[in-house]
Structure 1
């Protein structure tokens, strides 16, 4: 009997593994088809509008971009060398697949969504952002359906889980919770209707407060309850400001929530969020992921979707949304399909005499690195371990006012901070550690040192002109200290270059 049970278990494991491989294969085939469809729709529009697309990015451009976009950090020099040496036709798809399975992908997604849901501010390590980020990361590691993540986030109770920090940060006020959750998860700027009917869209003040009513029965924090816990209470209503008119909970563009339904109001909202009755969540998610990858959404601003602000390509938005739903709300599969497309893989450089303004994703937007990307990429480039305390201080100092990653002006203060910062001064000093130590290896000649510096920092080999210039800069020095100082100059110049600080 034991032998038979063992054999049966082995067969089940083999079948299970085979099914998983088959599912992965189908998912990749679906992503290839969707990527091709993205290209087909946009290329048709380019031709009709006589838009000239840029060339496909070269291997070094692509690898650096996809690494930053999927795992939030530049590739290592070894990864660049291996990718450039790979001659297989599917190496870009293989790289996308590998990065999507990396633990760093979940960490990067948690960074992105935490900053949208609950932007970090100040140096307070106890403001709850770390707990929220950890909670988000756990959901992404499990590849949980996005609609379920949102549903569980909204219905969360207690004080330990990450979502509690979100409720605490907004003082559990219904109007604040309504404004933020509608913007983040539904792509709707309902707060514009908080005090009066929306000036551009057709949202009414009563509709805003109808949505806010779902959050009216959360126990309010007080000075006597510093350890805030999310608890639903049996009573609580919202009224339209300056009136005594009580507003019942009502789903956006939908019916009122039933009063006799089982569960709290937040649970009712969380169920609706993950239902087919909610047309907003999948479109908002698609637009958000597209903006992560391209720097701009199909709708801009990304959190202001509606008839007053139509998508740049409505049919593409519709088909991507349907694809996302068909893939069981998998963010991973949405990222995969976009990354597989030629549209995503196009260069950020102008095509001939084409318009300098990007009209319809015919070339890649140049994006500033987020503070998280910048710190992690600096640590990787300089071969220095990331330190939590220093990382937090660095990220907070590099915060910018603008949240538009395509505005280089938003990164100007980052650039100045970086050039004058202690992080760079220390890292590019002549101490025998990190990248400086590696480049000082006695078996390297100057050409190899320059090539290694370029591969490590800007993820490419130097041009002939660059190599000649930098090799001369080193070889002109005779003493060991002078040569180390010359190498330090090169590293400083590379890390402070626009090429390093931008995602292009």
Structure 2
């Protein structure tokens, strides 16, 4: 029988209490290994499977004697103590409700604490093996432990054998330095970690008294965590009631135990809810937060929902165009968030052009759309844009960011081959599973099969594994290379098992310049960084491939990756596309999918991924679904009641346009193309002429991130050095302001003798026509009466001093519109 920490016990299933639908007890059944062992009961009120109140201290407890005698006793706080072997029932009364909990007591003798499952967690919870203490790379005070206990075998040796075994005293366990330092019985630079009365002290003492046994291969493994309550709902208008979270560890041998006092807790949104070290959750604001729980190598989450103090109108929000709106609206109703009104046609046409194709609609296209009375004109426009040539430019550029297409690590011929293969895939609307398969199993010449350059970019096995995980799974495993992941469930063993899937990719130079031949090899393994052995090649949470299997490891991985049952692949792409159109990923950041970073709308995330798989990974189908939703077509103007929402899509989220889109818009609206005639060295310290891009090439058509452009650099284009959404930034900067106000990019275009300004003057356009054209082309709307009067007065005043003054005034007017917030942002 497993050792049970004092005040903790083995637990069985976590199931609802059938006898009282609105009361729930944890655990629903108590199993105690022997006399004097204890278990704390926890009781909550539930509504819709969400805890609304912790009533543990408010209910009345009583134990009824079983036929063979009283097995347990229970105090007024719900602490159950085993008295003797047998079975009893604890009755819980709350108002007119009653719940019975069966308690079973065995006759086991006390068990010895397990080093892996009991001692290591204590060292982790108390910070002893943290990066700031003995878990540091060089250790501390002459003792080094593995970071957060990822190497129990070595840790046991360090504690019990290293330094002449001075850290433990098995003849007088209480005199062990391990204990005395922790309680400040002797000087300790780390301070007091716990007291002699604590559960931690008593557990360590019991382990030492048993001879300090080490970890064994037969030790039960931690399989999962269960948290109680699984979800919390803060009643609107009521008091902010605290909730105590309880954590149960489930082991591979079927045993379980309460590990709340050993678990690590965190909150994803500190402005919504805070959580103390002991798991006490305190609601502090409105919205939704994930309470993350970690113990050993496993993590779990529970959600706390705190609705906003709004009174919604009956049926609001009611507009639903497809299943996206069904899930979004359910979340808004739960949070008491009203939806903003639908956007105007002028707002919609500008928004959907920019989000789908990275271009502005022309003045004629805007005028025609605004006049169109067809009720289905928005859906028809969406279909048109998904087949627009600019769609291919825009999404080829985005996927080139993702795949790091650049001459930074590729010669020019290889870079072009890689880009053309990506572009052709977008043009063909290649299903995403086939897109991934074609890249990950590419073989042969990197100039003939452009996808092969993915492996040329990532020659190191670790880099290849980590980039593949982020690119196609949307999750980062890099931290697990050297130690177990601190924020996720991935272990170091899993990392190297995953990396070994890519260890047999062979590269050799071809006959042509820049050519590399990619092939699969029959031998080769990635050795575990710490153990020095090859792990069986295994996908994340997948089944291992036997080391001697003749199956191509890349093919095996890709089969697992693109299987409809893969929980990561479809969601990774869905999240990227959703982020592009909605301004914020269902999981944010878009490439940070992990259990401790749950989606803002889990039901919607699952529904979109399922629909994506059902429709054979059709990317345009996914986009069409999102674009046709009422959620996408909402106004960006906040209501008083939803102004604080930036996570649940009650309104369209305003964001700055990408630098490439702004630069292309400047070229289109001024009639003067941007030259891309230089390339920057990989070191960034020199430029050289290049003739690859004919005049008129758009910024989103340039495949190489090293094409010289100070404007694009200032506006945060991706460098394509690492696979990370963080490479592209949308933050404002002083450099951007200088480029807009004093830089040559826009000013030179306006002054160019071939600019639209010169053409308007030559055509003798009236001031009213100029104002209308600039507003329709740049802002996709007509000016208001006040705006028209203001700018007509300015143009008229500037024309009094001759032709040159008139031209400069028109240039200033166009500049003012094209550098304004309304132009630079999508809304």
The alignment's TM-score, normalised by the length of structure 2, stands at: 0.54
- Structure 1 equivalent of residue 441 of structure 2: 155
User: Number of paired residues?
Assistant: 470
- Structure 2 equivalent of residue 464 of structure 1: 785
Map residues 194-233 of structure 1 onto 2, 5 A cutoff. 194-219=481-506, 227-233=515-521
Q: Which shifted more, 397-406 or 491-500?
A: 397-406
1:435 equivalent to 2:756? Answer: yes
- Residues 412/370 of structure 1: CA separation in 2 closer, same or farther (3 Å cut): farther
1:285 equivalent to 2:600? Answer: no
- Residues 128/497 of structure 1: CA separation in 2 closer, same or farther (3 Å cut): farther
* Distance in 2 separating the partners of 1:450 and 1:378: 17
CA contact under 8 A between 1:439 and 1:452: conserved in structure 2? no
* Distance in 2 separating the partners of 1:323 and 1:35: 15
What's the CA shift string for 1:53-86, capped at 9, x where partnerless? 2221111211111011111111111111111111
1:142 equivalent to 2:428? Answer: yes
- Structure 2 equivalent of residue 416 of structure 1: 738
- Structure 2 equivalent of residue 398 of structure 1: 714
**Unpaired segments ≥5 residues, structure 1:** 1-32
Pick the aligned partner of 1:444 from 765, 788, 792: 765
What's the CA shift string for 1:161-217, capped at 9, x where partnerless? 3323332223x1111011111111111111121111111211111111111112111
* Distance in 1 separating the partners of 2:578 and 2:392: 17
1:363 equivalent to 2:651? Answer: yes
- Structure 1 equivalent of residue 554 of structure 2: 266
2:332 aligned counterpart, secondary structure: helix
Shift of 1:132: 2.7
Which structure has the larger Rg? 2
- Residues 324/424 of structure 1: CA separation in 2 closer, same or farther (3 Å cut): same
Shift of 1:105: 1.2
CA contact under 8 A between 1:35 and 1:339: conserved in structure 2? no
- Structure 2 equivalent of residue 189 of structure 1: 476
* Distance in 1 separating the partners of 2:823 and 2:343: 17
Shift of 1:263: 4.7
Shift of 1:487: 0.5
1:393 aligned counterpart, secondary structure: coil
Shift of 1:382: 1.7
- Structure 2 equivalent of residue 425 of structure 1: 747
Shift of 1:406: 11
- Structure 2 equivalent of residue 501 of structure 1: 824
Pick the aligned partner of 2:398 from 92, 109, 112: 112
Shift of 1:357: 4.0
What's the CA shift string for 1:59-116, capped at 9, x where partnerless? 1211111011111111111111111111111111111000001122122111111112
- Structure 1 equivalent of residue 806 of structure 2: 483
- Structure 2 equivalent of residue 30 of structure 1: none
- Residues 128/492 of structure 1: CA separation in 2 closer, same or farther (3 Å cut): farther
CA contact under 8 A between 2:538 and 2:545: conserved in structure 1? yes
What's the CA shift string for 1:476-504, capped at 9, x where partnerless? 12211111111000111122112222122
| Structure with the largest fraction of strand | 2
1:219 aligned counterpart, secondary structure: strand
Shift of 1:387: 4.2
* Distance in 2 separating the partners of 1:267 and 1:124: 25
* Distance in 2 separating the partners of 1:130 and 1:458: 35
2:490 aligned counterpart, secondary structure: coil
Cα RMSD, aligned residues only: 2.8
- Residues 64/149 of structure 1: CA separation in 2 closer, same or farther (3 Å cut): same
- Residues 401/275 of structure 1: CA separation in 2 closer, same or farther (3 Å cut): same
- Structure 1 equivalent of residue 637 of structure 2: 349
- Residues 407/173 of structure 1: CA separation in 2 closer, same or farther (3 Å cut): closer
* Distance in 2 separating the partners of 1:501 and 1:129: 31
Pick the aligned partner of 2:452 from 164, 168, 186: 164
What's the CA shift string for 1:245-270, capped at 9, x where partnerless? 21221011110124455552222222
- Residues 313/323 of structure 1: CA separation in 2 closer, same or farther (3 Å cut): same
* Distance in 1 separating the partners of 2:561 and 2:728: 31
* Distance in 2 separating the partners of 1:320 and 1:307: 18
Shift of 1:279: 2.3
- Residues 389/93 of structure 1: CA separation in 2 closer, same or farther (3 Å cut): farther
CA contact under 8 A between 1:99 and 1:105: conserved in structure 2? yes
CA contact under 8 A between 1:415 and 1:496: conserved in structure 2? no
- Residues 408/233 of structure 1: CA separation in 2 closer, same or farther (3 Å cut): closer
- Structure 1 equivalent of residue 295 of structure 2: none
- Structure 1 equivalent of residue 9 of structure 2: none
* Distance in 1 separating the partners of 2:526 and 2:457: 20
- Residues 162/387 of structure 1: CA separation in 2 closer, same or farther (3 Å cut): farther
- Residues 342/121 of structure 1: CA separation in 2 closer, same or farther (3 Å cut): farther
CA contact under 8 A between 2:353 and 2:360: conserved in structure 1? yes
* Distance in 1 separating the partners of 2:341 and 2:360: 22
* Distance in 2 separating the partners of 1:128 and 1:492: 40
- Residues 360/407 of structure 1: CA separation in 2 closer, same or farther (3 Å cut): farther
Shift of 1:226: 6.3
* Distance in 2 separating the partners of 1:116 and 1:127: 19
- Structure 2 equivalent of residue 22 of structure 1: none
1:254 equivalent to 2:542? Answer: yes
- Residues 125/456 of structure 1: CA separation in 2 closer, same or farther (3 Å cut): farther
1:300 equivalent to 2:621? Answer: no
What's the CA shift string for 1:276-330, capped at 9, x where partnerless? 3422111111111101111211111221223211111111111111111111100
